[in-house]
Structure 1
């Protein structure tokens, strides 16, 4: 049997938060993502263009799901997500986040010249905005 080609992109990213409402509100109202699915007390799924941000309560996912049958998963502690942004958008993001009262934890240029901005969501996950050239991708 032939080996499949490597995946072309990440379809979804999971983050964990005990307060789903507060954390989902951050991704909707501050970041601008659109909620697609919500199961109160378990998860909120949000669309980010061609991918999804999945917010799970880490305790609720330890049992897995019944319909569909999803294996148990979850983690405790601070996760990380990085949103792709163009250099010209990073100042606008920094200004927007500051106007929303969200502290910029770090704003710097990497050795290769790509810039990153880091903040925290309400669940303390690290949220980064970075230029795609950070990893050698075109804008």
Structure 2
């Protein structure tokens, strides 16, 4: 039997300009930075969840920590992740992005009735704010 998972603890994006990324994730999206390092910023995205912003090209090697080795990882090209929002926050997010000259590159109304707004960060990563219902396990 497969052991139970409790959700996603972290998701990550890779960026070329850490300063621009911080201005975007903290300044525009209002995320609180929890960790600041040369190769990684970590942001609080809600109870028990973190967004890791890695400096592209600086994370491929293993890193020794007092608690053990963190295996190297890296990626090229844009990635994607979604923030959970409530249905009543779709219009405020639409307005906030527009007011800050962030292009909404797509808006999707899902068959179950949820709405997603897609936009890009300064490195071209595709971000989404998603309101339920869309996935069967994401109702509200």
Superposition TM-score, scaled by structure 2 size: 0.91
Which residue of the partner structure matches residue 21 of structure 2?
23
CA distance in 1, matches of 2:3, 2:31: 30
1:37-48 alignment runs, 5 A limit = 37-40=35-38, 42-48=39-45
Distance 2:75 2:128 in 1: 19
Work out the CA distance in 2 between the residues paired with 1:109 and 1:83.
16
In structure 2, how many angstroms separate the alpha carbons of the residues matched to 1:21 and 1:66? Answer: 25
CA distance in 1, matches of 2:62, 2:20: 23
Q: Take 2:132 and 2:115, find their aligned partners in 1: how far apart are those partners?
A: 9
Gaps of 5+ in 2: none
Partners of 2:23 and 2:62 in 1: how far apart?
24
Does the CA-based 8 Å contact 2:115-2:132 persist in structure 1? no
The structure whose residues are more often strand, as a share, is: 2
User: 1:105 maps to which residue?
Assistant: 105
Q: Which runs of 5+ in 1 are unaligned?
A: none
Greater helix share, structure number = 1
Q: Partner residue of 2:133?
A: 133
Moved over 3 A (4+): none
- Aligned partner of residue 135 in structure 1, secondary structure: coil
Using the TM superposition, give the Cα deviation of residue 4 of structure 1 relative to its aligned residue in structure 2, in angstroms: 5.8
2:113–2:132: 8 Å Cα contact kept in structure 1? no
Are positions 1:5 and 2:3 aligned together?
A: yes
Q: Give the number of aligned pairs.
A: 136
Cα RMSD over matched residues?
Answer: 1.3
State the shift of 1:92 in Å.
Answer: 0.3
Can you list the C-alpha shifts for 1:21-69, whole angstroms capped at 9, x where unaligned?
11122111111110011112x1111111120000001211011212252
